[in-house]
Amino acid sequence: MEKPNLEEEISGRAKKLQILLEKDGIDGALLLQKISVYYFSGTDQDAHLWIPSSSPAPLLMVRKSLERALTDGVIRQAVSLSSFKRLPGLIRDHMGGMPRRIGLELDVLPVNLFRIYEKVFAGCELVDVSPHIRKVRMVKSSYEISFIRKAADLGDRLYHHFPRFLAASETEMELAIKAEAFYRSEGHPGLVRTRAFNMETIYGHIMAGACSTMPSATPGPTGGLGAGPFASQGAAWVKIESHVPVLVDYASNVDGYLSDQARIFSKGKLSEKLYRAHQVMIKVQDAVAENGRPGTVAEDLYKMALRIVDRAGLSEGFMGHPQPVPFVGHGLGLELDEWPIIGRHSHHILEEGMIVALEPKCVFPGEGVVGVENTFQVKARGMEKLNRFPEDIVVIS
C-alpha cells in the first residue's frame, strides 16, 4: 500500500475545518492548543496557527522553535513570533486585511490568554471554534486509523505478557512498573493526552480488589487508591490479594495515536457473581458494537446498554459507584477524550471512520471491578473491534 502523503493529509484536515468556518461566518481560526496545532500542521512546537476560512494558505507563527517547526511540520508559511502584539499585524499582512470574526478554542484557552487576545484584537469578534475542531477530528482518515490499529496491536502484545507480570508482582505498583517498562521498550512515548480541564492520566489504571472500587475524581468509571492524595487514581503500593479481580485499563500510543483497552486478571478463581457480571459487560459491548452503524444516534446506544444491564440486575454499580458516569464509550485518537461520546444526552450521530472505545464495567464495592474495554472503528455494518486479546477473565495459579 502506498504511504499516505502527510502534506495532503493535513491539507485535507484544514479544508474540512474551512468549510465549517465559512458556513458559520468565521473569517479564520487561531489555534494554539498543542494537539490542535499538531493536527493541522504536523508540529507540536509553541506556536499559533492561523487557518483562514478560505484563501490564502494557513500561517504558522512560532514562538519556539521555528527551526524545529519547519523541520517537523508541513506548513511552509511559517514566521517567528516574538510577541503576542505582533499577531494582528502578521495575520493582516497575510490576509491582505484584518479579519472581523476570529475563532478561538475557548474550551481549553486560559482566561488570562483570552484577555490578552481581547486587547490585541480590539475591534474583532472572538468566537468559540472548539466544536468545529472536535467535529473535524471526530472522523478519522485511513492515515490516522493505520496508527490506531498499530496502537491496538501494541496493546494486545502488552496484555499477552500480563499473566507473567502478575505472577511476578506482589503489589499493584510493581505490576504497573513492569507494564510501563514494556510499553516504553516498544516505543510508547509515555504520553496519554487528554483535552478536558484538570484531567490527568499516566498510561491508565492498574488496580485490584477493593482498591479498584475506591471512589475518585477521575471522569471514568474507576479510580483506585493511587500513589496518594496528590495522585488519587491508579496503582498503589498495596498487595494484590488472591481471588480478587485485577483490572488492567491501559492506553497504548503509537506516533501519538491511542488505543484504549481493559482486561481482568486474577490470582485464583473469582466468585460466580463476578464471572456472571463480567459476561454481561461483554454482552453490553457486543450489542453496542453490533448496532453502532453510521446514522445511529449515540444516546440510543447508551440507552440500549442500560436496558441490558437492568435486565441482568446489575444497574447498581454499572459504570461506577457510588457516582456512575453517564456514558459507556468515548472517542479517541490523539487524545483520550475525543468525540463521539456514547452516553446520556449525546446527540452525536455515528459516521464511518469514527474511533470509539467501549468500556462497560461493573463496580462491586469492597470486592472489585469486572468488565472490558476495546477500541472500535465504525464501519457500514457496525463497529469493528481493533483489539484481539481474549476478553474472558484470565486466571493464573
d(C-alpha 139, C-alpha 130), whole Å: 15
Decide if 46 is inside a domain: yes
Decide if 198 is inside a domain: yes
| Domain boundary pick from 137, 169, 190 | 137
Rg (CA), the chain: 22
| Domain boundary pick from 93, 115, 137 | 137
> 5: how many CB neighbours lie within 10 A of its CB?
12
Decide if 334 is inside a domain: yes
Closest CA to 232 of 221, 220, 216: 216
Could you tell me if 184 and 116 lie in one domain? no
Could you tell me if 264 and 313 lie in one domain? yes
Could you tell me if 382 and 260 lie in one domain? yes
Structural domain for 70, as ranges: 6-137
d(C-alpha 357, C-alpha 127), whole Å: 31
Q: H or E segment at 331?
A: strand 327-331
Decide if 1 is inside a domain: no
Could you tell me if 270 and 345 lie in one domain? yes
Positions of the chain with pLDDT lower than 70, given as ranges: 1-4
Could you tell me if 124 and 161 lie in one domain? no
Could you tell me if 130 and 216 lie in one domain? no
Could you tell me if 70 and 87 lie in one domain? yes
Could you tell me if 43 and 153 lie in one domain? no
Task: Provide the terminal-to-terminal Cα distance of the chain, rounded to the nearest Å.
Answer: 45
Could you tell me if 252 and 108 lie in one domain? no
* Mean pLDDT score of the chain: 97
Could you tell me if 65 and 84 lie in one domain? yes
Decide if 241 is inside a domain: yes
What integer pLDDT is reported at residue 1 of this predicted model? 36
pTM listed for this prediction: 0.96
The answer to whether 270 touches 209, Cβ cutoff 8 Å, is no
Number of separate domains in the chain? 2
Provide the CATH number for the domain around residue 366. 3.90.230.10
Provide the CATH number for the domain around residue 126. 3.40.350.10
| Domain boundary pick from 137, 152, 172 | 137
The answer to whether 360 touches 318, Cβ cutoff 8 Å, is yes
Could you tell me if 213 and 79 lie in one domain? no
Angle between helices 130-138 and 6-23 (to 10 degrees): 130
Could you tell me if 154 and 25 lie in one domain? no
What integer pLDDT is reported at residue 4 of this predicted model? 58
